[in-house]
Chains A and B, each alone.
Chain A
Amino acid sequence: MSSLPPFVLFFAAAPLLAFARGWTQKGVLLLVPVASGLALLGAPEDQVVTLSLLGYELTPYRVDRLSLLFGYLFHLAAFIGMLFALHVADRVQHIAAMLYAGSALGAVFAGDLMTLFVFWELAAVTSVFLVWARRTPQAFGAGWRYLVIQIVSGLLLLAGVLLRYHETGSLAFDYLGLQGPSGWLMFTAFGIKCAFPVLHNWLTDAYPEATPTGTVFLSAFTTKMAVYALARGFPGTEALVYIGALMTCFPIFYAVIENDLRRVLAYSMINQLGFMVCGIGIGTALAINGAVSHAFNDVIFKGLLFMSMGAVLHMTGRIKGSELGGLYKTMPITATLCVVGACSISAFPLFSGFVSKSMVMAAALEQGYDWVWLALLFASAGVFHHAGIKIPFFAFFAHDSGIRVREPPLNMLLAMALAAVLSVFIGCYPWLLYGLLPFPVEYAPYTTTHVIAQLQLLFFSALAFTWLKLSGLYPPELPSVNLDAEWLYRRLVPQLMHSATRVAGSWPGQLRLSAQRRLGQLMATLSHFHGPQGILARTWATGSMVLWVVILLGIYLVAYYY
């Protein structure tokens, strides 16, 4: 018997959230991930559902070890995120989060590239509402930039898929490889969502602008979908080793001088993705196991860190390192849970990062990537420095900002506590996670050598921080923006456009008049069709739009069953 694809329940529950209120709403939010997750636990491995649509052989649902692991992970992340957001009154956020989680689940269980594309774009469109829901001008702008870049990633994917279909006649989503332009197109599409260097700014732009609870969902799904897609399509692609090593190193410099603590976490997220990308590039069983298990752990501990900063933002209304400090006095539980997340991301023994990150590093050494290994080691020390120390230090300790707020609501504390317990549990009993990995694990994390080496690395990093801080060499937290690759499209291109219009304004009279006349004609044609009376511009009520979306989803569901 085949089980129901997990996205179905999530998509079916979303319309309910438009009407449900009070306890019903809370019940739906919590029960959907639990029910769907339990159903997945009973799902038989190696199960494939195919259907024929318009002459294409599609595989909308495929269960194997790799997709199953990400399936469990996304259910866990959805449950933690929903619990964290339980107090939120804003329906838009709940519906967006439900559809977004469903889309991410649809993507990891997609057996063909066309299905992957559909969920890839759905995840983009649904997730942007978690940014816009902040309802600030900054969030609005960042949301648009995020959406455009995500859609471009989807279009590149679609182009690659169609080219590949033309070349091979197959839509199967298995090993893709970099052969030909189709391979590169899909590689770039995955790379955008995975925040490859220079393509990464959508992440550091949008995540810190999203709502306190929305960022928790965002941090869990989009980039991990991309990690999954790379692990399936491009394992052993050597370019990924160097891209990954670069990703671990360059963001930590930004993280040190960044003031917005959620943006620090966004940069540190790229750093963690770097370890996974590097592992996928190395491509041995040990490396892939490391990459995938690190993705699993990262969702939980990065979620925990984003939750603790979300709780701080929710309670104080501030998130700048320069405005915070001393919060441990009135938020001791949040501070403790944040420190657990910090220890996990820094890979302290007995915390989850320790049992997964080191697999990638061991694999790098095994395959003779000495310099890459040194870069990863540098990044490991650096991540402790900026995510492990800087985040808790500037938010909860440092100088007393005088802010006295209470602990966040109970549901937020419970969600953080759940993530913290999981981080410690996986750190202490890694075998449960290892048992789910795509390849059999022969790696033992708790050797004396490894424990001592890691402790030396971390404690001397802490010593370096202490020394820099006491000697006054440590750069202070300053309100500022730091230039990054986004400067190209946020500053250079707008300025070029601006000067282009200025130049056009100084053209000789004759030329300008003729250009203006042509523009006028164009506008007249456009307004004929698109103007207030135009046939293409009849306004539709939002209600009827929602109805049509629901009908479309319904048809899709029915079509699926037959």
Chain B
Amino acid sequence: MQAERQHIFDKPANVKRLLWVLYLLCVLLLAVDFFYHRHAAHPWEALWGFYALYGFVACVSLVLIAKRLRRLLKRPERYYDE
């Protein structure tokens, strides 16, 4: 059998490269808050790193709470057919 062509994310190095790009962009975006003064419509917005931290905390809590909820809500796939 012919060996399958290698695809871009088959190489762990490429995945790692992509992650580094993400980390770098995050650092740069956070660094912007040192130099750029936001035109805040609300006092919370003007806090340093507000959007970055809020986004991170929101997503982590979303997933962790959903994981907890799953214990409560999860049923077998054919639950309603029984």
Contacts and interface: CB of A to CB of B under 8 A. Distances in A.
Q: Do A and B come from one complex?
A: yes
A257 B71 CA distance: 10
A452 B55 contact: no
Interface residues of A, number: 51
Interface in A434-490: 447-449, 452-468, 473-475, 478-484, 490
Given A457-B54, A463-B22, A480 B77 contact: yes
B62 A256 contact: yes
B13 interface: no
Interface stretch (A4-12, A292-300, A362-370, A424-432): A362-370
Main secondary structure of the interface of B (DSSP, over half): helix
B67 A461 contact: no
Interface in B8-59: 9, 19, 22-23, 25-26, 29-30, 32-33, 36, 38-42, 44-45, 49, 51-56, 58-59
Contacts of B78: 481
Contact of B77 (A381, A465, A479): A479
A482 B80 contact: no
Residue from A373, A377, A453, A454 with most neighbouring chain B CB atoms (10 Å): A453
Contacts of A381: 54-55, 58-59, 62
Residue from B39, B62, B78 with most neighbouring chain A CB atoms (10 Å): B62
A457 B26 CA distance: 10
Nearest to A453: B51
Given A449-B38, A453-B45, A490 B74 contact: no
A464 B74 contact: no
Contact of B22 (A366, A459, A468): A459
Contacts of B77: 479-481
A473 B64 contact: yes
Contacts of B58: 377-378, 381-382, 461, 464
A464 B26 CA distance: 11
B63 A362 contact: no
A490 to B, nearest CB: 5
Given A465-B59, A466-B19, A362 B41 contact: yes
A268 B54 CA distance: 20
Contact of A481 (B19, B23, B66, B76): B76
A329 interface: yes
Interface string A239-276: 00000000000001110110000000000000000000
A488 to B, nearest CB: 12
Nearest to B79: A481
B33 to A, nearest CB: 8
Given A460-B56, A481-B75, A256 B80 contact: no
A382 to B, nearest CB: 5
A457 B55 contact: yes
B1 interface: no
Main secondary structure of the interface of A (DSSP, over half): helix
Nearest to B36: A452
A377 B75 CA distance: 31
A370 B29 contact: no
A462 B79 contact: no
Contacts of B39: 447, 449
Contact of B29 (A362, A456, A484): A456
Nearest to A465: B59
B74 A468 contact: no
A460 to B, nearest CB: 4
Contacts of B74: 257, 478, 480-482
Nearest to A137: B81
A475 B80 CA distance: 23
A502 interface: no
B51 A457 contact: yes
Contacts of A474: 63
Contacts of B49: 456
A448 B54 CA distance: 19
Residue from B7, B44, B59, B77 with most neighbouring chain A CB atoms (10 Å): B59
Contact of A464 (B42, B55, B72): B55
9 contacts: A257-B74, A362-B41, A366-B41, A378-B62, A456-B29, A456-B30, A456-B49, A459-B29, A483-B72
Interface of A: 252-254, 256-257, 328-329, 362, 365-366, 370, 373-374, 377-378, 381-382, 385, 397, 447-449, 452-468, 473-475, 478-484, 490-491
Across the A-B interface, the 4 shortest Cβ-Cβ residue pairs: A464-B59, A256-B66, A460-B55, A456-B51
Given A256-B63, A381-B54, A483-B73, 12 more contacts: A253-B66, A452-B29, A455-B29, A464-B56, A464-B60, A474-B63, A475-B63, A475-B70, A481-B74, A481-B75, A491-B79, A491-B80
